[in-house]
Structure 1
């Protein structure tokens, strides 16, 4: 015969049990997504992180990782429309991550990446306008973690792109925005990307971008060595083989 106390316990269990199961399922989903992320299975990881966000809209790690993955997946897309959809989503998710923690390295880093990717498929004026914010978020990321390889790479790319702006983009920057902040240079681009390779020695993209900077600086031997280093690395992510082919082509051009 159930006492009143026993009935209360049964009721509480009836109410809480589904919530506990739901929470456990959410944790398992996040763990699976994290495992895929660590193993560079980016498309699958992105799908799971999107499910995590649906169930837990304020899951900070899922937000910034989904933003980063949208930038990477979008960058590999073949058509501009798909690229733009992914990059816009990456910016939206980065904004949500920043709303939760605007001082953390990851939220600022993924915003810099998302805006940088979007800028590459935008017009000259939009690229110039975005360049100010890209540097701002990259700087903030490095304030939080001076050794963050991704942020170092982003800032290196920023210096390279801005230092080699075409006349129209530079004129637009001077006319519309009073110039671009910072004293961009190829030398600083090389410095930042070199630091990125020291932190992440197995990222093929970093070595290809460094080779391009060296080429622009007239340091052909360094450019070749950077490309050879990239070619010798194990391909881990979709697109790495294409980066290696770019390195081979660059070596042939030098």
Structure 2
């Protein structure tokens, strides 16, 4: 289902404070006032254009009405001579319908919204900060026209999350993650049977681990898993969801004893996952994905090594090293692959 670029955001989901956000680059700082200014300009321009269109349509309608009245007078005169009658009520009615400028056009509106969302989806997955900022502006514009639309809200959350990945300024990152969570939370209240809403809410919850307390991190871990499970139940063939759940299981299974004690003290029982469960999800993600996914191969290798299957683990590390176009082929992943290859080189 998802395109290759769609998976960039999932790779950085943070759970229990141990999954770091991936793909963070030093780029220009995004400022919210640019969005508000651009939205105000767009609304003013749209209002001017609509006013002009209304004036032109009124002029056309006035001319059409005058012509129709003249034609109807001639037709009535001819009908008297021929003995026939003509009902001219339908003429003016059809003319009025042709020039109807009412806003009540649900089918056309829906078509326009779908087309706009398709364009926004391409921009959200392009990886360009400029495209992400444009998407945020366009979603804001559409939000005025279609208030409370869950399809707009979860995309708004996705835009905020992906913009947060493009900054290394903590306050900017926290601001966008917070706004993204708010958008997806509202979307969930409106529609709770959408895999995309659950997925992006989970990603945003996982991404805020650097800004919350230990207790909140553990609580967020439960929220993260709950919504990934919900998304997976709605869309079981999404490889990114299996990868996300695999990451969760792997990190929970790797918790130190004192971390489990803290979780038990706060929640009565610690999170419970195993490395084999994590491996199962990573293998399913590998099966479902249609590209060479470097980070997923790395996680398979780490599971194999954790289970004592060193030779198979090294084989998967080599597969990861051979990936040149993987979506998670960043310096951090490359460095970990090479480090583990050196460490377990004797098992080749």
Give 2:234's match in structure 1, choosing from 124, 129, 144. 144
* 2:297–2:317 Cα contact (<8 Å) kept: yes
Closer, same or farther: CA 16–115 of 1 in aligned 2, 3 Å? closer
Closer, same or farther: CA 61–204 of 1 in aligned 2, 3 Å? farther
TM-superposed deviation, 1:153: 1.4
Closer, same or farther: CA 63–144 of 1 in aligned 2, 3 Å? same
For residues 25-44 of structure 1, the aligned pairs below 5 Å read: 29-37=116-124, 40-41=126-127, 43-44=129-130
Give 1:126's match in structure 2, choosing from 213, 216, 220. 216
Gaps spanning 5+ residues in structure 2: where?
1-65, 70-91
Give 1:204's match in structure 2, choosing from 270, 276, 294. 294
Q: Does 1:156 find its partner at 2:250?
A: no
User: Which structure's residues are more often helix, by fraction?
Assistant: 1
Whole-angstrom CA distance in 2 between matches of 1:20 and 1:146: 31
Whole-angstrom CA distance in 1 between matches of 2:318 and 2:183: 36
Q: List 4+ stretches of structure 1 deviating above 6 A.
A: 19-25
Give 1:105's match in structure 2, choosing from 195, 215, 221. 195
Structure 1-normalised TM-score?
0.79
User: Which residue pairs with 1:9 in the alignment?
Assistant: 96
Closer, same or farther: CA 3–58 of 1 in aligned 2, 3 Å? same
Whole-angstrom CA distance in 2 between matches of 1:226 and 1:25: 46
Closer, same or farther: CA 108–42 of 1 in aligned 2, 3 Å? farther
Whole-angstrom CA distance in 2 between matches of 1:7 and 1:199: 55
* 1:46–1:66 Cα contact (<8 Å) kept: no
Structure 2-normalised TM-score?
0.60
* 2:245–2:278 Cα contact (<8 Å) kept: yes
The 10-residue stretch of structure 1 (58-67 or 87-96) with the greater mean CA deviation from structure 2: 58-67
User: Which residue pairs with 1:221 in the alignment?
Assistant: 311
Give 1:247's match in structure 2, choosing from 331, 337, 347. 337
Gaps spanning 5+ residues in structure 1: where?
none
Whole-angstrom CA distance in 2 between matches of 1:45 and 1:83: 18
Greater Rg over alpha carbons, structure = 2
* 2:196–2:231 Cα contact (<8 Å) kept: yes
The 10-residue stretch of structure 1 (7-16 or 48-57) with the greater mean CA deviation from structure 2: 7-16
The 10-residue stretch of structure 1 (41-50 or 128-137) with the greater mean CA deviation from structure 2: 41-50
* 1:153–1:193 Cα contact (<8 Å) kept: yes
Q: Does 1:68 find its partner at 2:162?
A: no
Whole-angstrom CA distance in 2 between matches of 1:177 and 1:231: 40
* 1:148–1:199 Cα contact (<8 Å) kept: yes
CA shift digits 1:78-110 (9 cap, x unpaired): 343333223223322221331232122211111
User: Which residue pairs with 2:183 in the alignment?
Assistant: 93
